[in-house]
Amino acid sequence: MEKQLLDRSKDKALFTPGPLTTSRTVKQAMLRDLGSRDSEFIALVREIRRRLLEIGGVAGRGYEAIPMQGSGTFALEAVVSSTIPPGGKLLVALNGAYGRRIEQIARVLKIDVLALAFPETQAVDPQAVALALERDAAITHVAVVHCETTTGILNPVREIGAVVRHAQRLYFVDAMSSFGAVPLNLADWSIDYLVSSANKCIEGVPGFAFVLARREALLATSGFARSLSLDLLAQWKGLELDGQFRFTPPTHALLAFHQALIELEQEGGVEARAARYRQNYRTLVEGMRALGFREYLAPELQGYIITSFLYPEDPNFRFAEFYARLNDKGYVIYPGKVSQGNCFRIGHIGRIFPGDVQDLLAAVQSTLAAMGLDLSRPQEPCAVSL
């Protein structure tokens, strides 16, 4: 398998949750101009929408793909603001900062919201969701983050979906950091609305996000929208009517995304991409442990999208210096977002391969040496999950 696609003289390697390292051919796809009303562009958007439904396992199964201008948070707000009726109530089952963001969106919109919070080191419990739905008949919608990139934990989205379906509520999944890398099926998992972004596991560039929506649920939302530009139903109707976005589309980002979708197919689809990301994860964790670092999560809870590492106990470790030295070497990692500990994060996604991860580990080792740190100590056997 190809070791690297990145020209280190021009681009830094992004070991982050997004934006990500992209292939040269994805970047090259943006080196042209298309008008938003050009028939070629309209056909390209139609093809993107079709491919997204295939990735979600719901082509021809009563779902629609709706691209929305803006970052992933814009699409999250489009779903919350457009699909919950006046007088509706949202249950957000959360265990990290990105679940809290959905809660915050609802509160800003003056939507009644109940936060069912779990520790950041614990997955969302489907039975706790079931109990909350049983106790509160006012709840109309349930939201959860699939991969909570605060820590890297994967929540049991399928099991929660079964609970929500049994309770006859509507189900909304933030799959920002998992769609395209974690196999799923919206219909089988009882998902009514799923949101992800162009610059995540499909390895496109920033500029838009997208919603996969169950058509019957979407059509029932007429009159619910609390925003003009984020009106999900109106966006879909416009695309269905003439293939047009209602407002200026991110043409270059869509060209790049179309190429990224082709490259996902060429790689072997979601299963093959998941296998590469898993190998990136294993390579990283084994190497970081050997250097003396420890993960924040227990291995059985850890997903293969991004890993949070605890700060070393050495008082001379300073993350800002560690980050800056790695950045100077051409490797970009991510600060932590955990509320109960000092952590930093390293992503395993994007157009990176195990060889790139090994290069990062070599840079980490030399950075520790330059900082005068020796974190090595006897290691207890600990299996790497996934």
DSSP of 189-240, one letter per residue? TT-SEEEEETTSTT---SSEEEEEEEHHHHHTTTT--S-STT-HHHHHHHHH
- For range 349-370, the mean pLDDT: 97
Region 22-44 average pLDDT: 96
How far apart, in Å, are the Cα atoms of 134 and each of 53, 114, 137, 140, 147?
32, 14, 7, 12, 26
The pTM for the full model equals 0.94
pLDDT over 50 (residue 380): no
> What domains lie within the chain, and their CATH numbers?
13-21+269-370 (3.90.1150.10), 32-265 (3.40.640.10)
CB-based contact 96:90 (threshold 8 Å) = no
For the record, the structure tokens of 321 come out as 């210096």
pLDDT number for residue 94? 98
The crossing angle, in degrees rounded to 10, of helices 72-83 and 232-242 is 100
Q: What is the pLDDT of residues 237-286, one digit of tens each?
A: 999 999 999 999 999 999 999 999 999 999 999 999 999 999 999 999 99
Residue 231 has φ and ψ, to the nearest 5°, of -75, 105
For residue 242, how many other CB atoms are within 10 A of its CB? 8
Identify the residue whose tokens are 């939201």: 143
Q: Which of 166, 177, 214, 175 lies closest to 53 in space, CA to CA?
A: 214
Rounded percentage of the chain residues whose pLDDT exceeds 90: 92
97 is written with which tokens? Answer: 């900062």
- Predicted confidence (pLDDT) per residue in 303-331, tens digit: 999 999 999 999 999 999 999 999 999 99
* Collapsed DSSP state (helix, strand, coil) of residue 180: coil
- CA 230, 132, 194, 274 dihedral sign is positive
**Main-chain dihedrals φ then ψ at residue 25, nearest 5 degrees:** -70, -30
**What DSSP state is assigned to residue 185?**
-
Q: pLDDT for 124-170, tens place per residue? A: 999 999 999 999 999 999 999 999 999 999 999 999 999 999 999 99
